[in-house]
Every structure is written in C-alpha cells, then in structure tokens.
Amino acid sequence: MSSKEKNSVTILTESQLSSRAFKDEAYEFYKELRKSQPLYPLSLGALGKGWLISRYDDAIHLLKNEKLKKNYENVFTAKEKRPALLKNEESLTKHMLNSDPPDHNRLRTLVQKAFTHRMILQLEDKIQHIADSLLDKVQPNKFMNLVDDYAFPLPIIVISEMLGIPLEDRQKFRVWSQAIIDFSDAPERLQENDHLLGEFVEYLESLVRKKRREPAGDLISALIQAESEGTQLSTEELYSMIMLLIVAGHETTVNLITNMTYALMCHGDQFEKLRQQPDLMNSAIEEALRFHSPVELTTIRWTAEPFILHRQEIKRKDVIIISLASANRDEKIFPNADIFDIERKNNRHIDFGHGNHFCLGAQLARLEAKIAISTLLRRCPNIQLKGEKEQMKWKGNFLMRALEELPLSF
C-alpha cells in the first residue's frame, strides 16, 4: 500500500489487511495510525463493521474489557445470528479462544495442567533432541530453508507428541492450519478452505475413534475422558479443542523462531552480541516477540454493549481487532521502538495477549525458541542469510506475521 493509497483509504478491508503489500509497509502505516487515527474503520465483509486498534494503552484496556465478547452468541440474538460462512465452522469453533467466562474458564482448566511450568520443563531434553536431529539432517549441506527444515518441524513434533498424534500427519496440519487462520471471505477461497476444513474434521473423527478404542497417556485421551463425563466437554468442543491445540501449538512458535532468526540476520551487531553473550537469550526472545510480533492481529472480538473510545461510539455488534504488532511498536511505551535491541529493559510486549485469553502455551513457545535459536547459533556459528534481506517475503495472512521462507547458509 503506497503513501498515496494510505492517505486516500477511509475504510480498510480484510483483503488489504491480509495482503503481502500491507505486511511490507504495515509498521509505517501503524505509526501513522498511532499518531492520528488510533481507532481505524474496517470493512469485514460478512462480519460487518469493525475497528482496528493500534495504541498500546487501548490494547491493554480492550483486551480486558468485559463489553467485548469472543463468542458471538453472547452478542447476537437468535434472529440476528449470522449464517455460518463455512459448512464445517461449528465443528471447529467451539474452543476456548472463541469463548467467554464461565465457558472459557471450564475449557481452559481442562488443558492448562499440561502447560504448567513443571510440565514444560520436563520437555526440555526432548526439544533439545529434536533440534539436534533436525540440524543433523541439514548441516552436511551447509544450507537450509529455516522455515521448512527447522522452524516448522520442531514445534509440530513437540505438540504432536503431547497430543498423541502420528508424526507422519504433520504436513497435513500445515495445510489445514493455513486454512483455519485464513480469514478471506472471497468465494473461491471460502470454498477451498471449507473443503480443507472438511478433511480436518474427518481426520479428527477418525483420530478420536482410535483414541476411544486405545486410550493412552496423552492430552487427547485426557480430553476424550472429559467428554465422556458429559458436563465437561461436548463433542464439538472436543474437536475444536484438539484443532486449537494443534494450530496454536505450532503456528506462533514457527513464526517466533523464523522472525527472530531473520531479525538477528538483519542486525549483525545484535547477532554478534548474542553469540558472545548467550545469557542474553531470554531478553533477545522477548525483543523478537516485540519487534516482529508472530501474531500480528488478534482474533475477533464482538461488542456486546456500546461504548465511547476516542470520541467515537463503538456500537453493539461492531468488531474490534487489535494490532499487537502496532501496540508492540508504540513509542510511548517502548523508547526507540523501531530499533531491535536484545538488551531492552522493561519489555512489556503483549504478543501473547493479555487478560483471560493470555496464551496458554507462552512458556512452551519461549522454551522451544530458546532451545532452537541457542542450538542453531552453537552448531552453526557462521550462519548467514542467503540472498538479500529485501528478497525475503512476508506471507499474505490476516492474523500472522510470517515469512514464506528464510534461506540460510553456514
């Protein structure tokens, strides 16, 4: 989106937010929004009218605002209920990310014990083994595409083993995940995504049948047990929860590992500082989360009660979308916000969210990134970007900031 186009746009559409062109210029656009239009109008097709939030303080306030709901059934009456955009929508949307208290609390409680600090630390040796095994495969070639060869397989192997899912199915998850996080309402994309989600539902049905016959000590077996108790989990919630754990269990971490490596490759002084001072790794991860936020935009929140923000009435049924990427570059919160500084102090980024919906897997994502990046720098100390940084392309995607590929030589 050129400067001329930005000045002429009065309403931003879903297709613009999802475009590669927008991703390339998003940070400059957000900077202008924070100065002059912190509440920016959106047109979201079948979802209706929306608003894009760009300032940090507004983001913090709205992420905890009880007037905003994740489950649209808590906003719309039966007569107002919108028709499903996808045939398979109901089977995959009854998860905790789309729920409000008390349902949200019930669903989160069912899985949070698998993500406690103690349980995550027990995965450290397993994650280290996976990282080393992946590098063993590519190191003789002295080249790899970080996304395909390392950043994607590492977290998908981890979450697959936690859930009890066959590893040979992981490439299918990649395709299905993209269909789930693709918000396009273009008819041809909707048809394609609905077909892919239908495949995903069939896969889940088959997987659950197998787990019922042969339960094991994995997370899916535990969720099936909760479903059998009746009051804990419905069948739709079971499928939706498994879907959420598969998608959320790897998408953010793929982007974190990739985006952090890219930032280090583009900032040689910071890369060298981290190589010389590996004790800065935790701080560097937090800065990577802030600088190239893996989750660029939040999922949808519906307005249940009208309220005023920046002298504008937000009406009932309006959609609120928060740019975490913009909030994480807010100059009022982060001095020199556009500078990548792995020693940044008081780094209060919100890329894992805030409030009730703070990411359940944040500790796991941080540990996976720490092991992945530390192992990469230790085993490939001369790693460098293969090609020019201007050649790297951001994916056209609504929710995520993700590189299509990251070629590296070492």
For residues 328 and 43, what is the distance between their CA atoms, to the nearest angstrom? 24
Q: Tokens 């063993």 sit at which residue?
A: 136
Would you list the DSSP string of 374-407? HHHHHH-TT-EESS-GGG--B---SSB--BS--E
pLDDT at 113: 85
For residues 120 and 205, what is the distance between their CA atoms, to the nearest angstrom? 28
Q: How far is CA 265 from CA 152, 274, 339, 387, in A?
A: 19, 12, 14, 11
pLDDT at 86: 59
Decide: residue 410, CB within 10 A, 0-12 exposed, 13-18 middle, 19+ buried. Answer: middle
Decide: residue 201, CB within 10 A, 0-12 exposed, 13-18 middle, 19+ buried. Answer: middle
pLDDT at 6: 44
pLDDT tens digits, one per residue of 223-250: 988 776 666 788 888 889 998 998 888 9
For residues 244 and 228, what is the distance between their CA atoms, to the nearest angstrom? 20
Which one is predicted more confidently, 8 or 290?
290
pLDDT tens digits, one per residue of 145-192: 999 999 999 999 999 999 999 888 887 888 888 877 766 666 677 778
Q: Are strands 384-385 and 68-69 parallel, antiparallel or unpaired?
A: unpaired
| Nearest one of 112, 127, 82, 57 to 327, comparing CA atoms | 57
pLDDT tens digits, one per residue of 317-359: 999 999 999 999 999 999 999 999 999 999 999 999 999 999 9
Residues in the chain, how many? 410
pLDDT at 4: 41
pLDDT tens digits, one per residue of 1-16: 444 444 445 789 888 9
pLDDT at 331: 98
| Nearest one of 345, 331, 335, 333 to 280, comparing CA atoms | 345
pLDDT at 85: 57
* Dihedral over Cα of 167, 171, 175, 181: its sign: positive
pLDDT at 5: 43
For residues 85 and 255, what is the distance between their CA atoms, to the nearest angstrom? 28
Q: How far is CA 355 from CA 316, 320, 348, in A?
A: 22, 16, 14
pLDDT tens digits, one per residue of 348-370: 999 999 999 999 999 999 999 99
Q: Given a cut of 50, is residue 204 above it in pLDDT?
A: yes
pLDDT at 83: 55
pLDDT at 84: 58
Q: 134 falls in which pLDDT band (50, 70, 90)?
A: very high
For residues 228 and 221, what is the distance between their CA atoms, to the nearest angstrom? 11
Question: What mean pLDDT is predicted for residues 80-107?
Answer: 79
Question: What mean pLDDT is predicted for residues 374-390?
Answer: 93
Asked if residue 37 lies in contact with residue 333, where contact means CB atoms within 8 angstroms, the answer is no
Please state at what angle helix 281-291 crosses helix 362-379, rounded to 10 degrees.
Answer: 110
CATH class of 3-409: mainly alpha
At residue 145, the 3 state secondary structure works out as: strand
pTM value is: 0.92
Residues of the chain above pLDDT 90, percent: 68
Question: What mean pLDDT is predicted for residues 105-109?
Answer: 91
Decide: residue 338, CB within 10 A, 0-12 exposed, 13-18 middle, 19+ buried. Answer: exposed
Asked if residue 251 lies in contact with residue 105, where contact means CB atoms within 8 angstroms, the answer is no
**Cis peptide before 102, with omega less than 30 degrees from 0?**
yes
Instruction: Tell me which long-range contacts 174-179 makes (C-beta under 8 A, separation of at least 24).
Output: 176/200, 176/203, 176/246, 176/247, 177/246, 177/247, 177/250, 177/251, 178/397
pLDDT at 332: 97
For residues 97 and 299, what is the distance between their CA atoms, to the nearest angstrom? 8
pLDDT tens digits, one per residue of 13-61: 888 998 999 999 999 999 999 999 999 999 988 788 999 999 999 999 9
What mean pLDDT, rounded, does the chain reach?
Answer: 90
Q: Given a cut of 60, is residue 214 above it in pLDDT?
A: yes
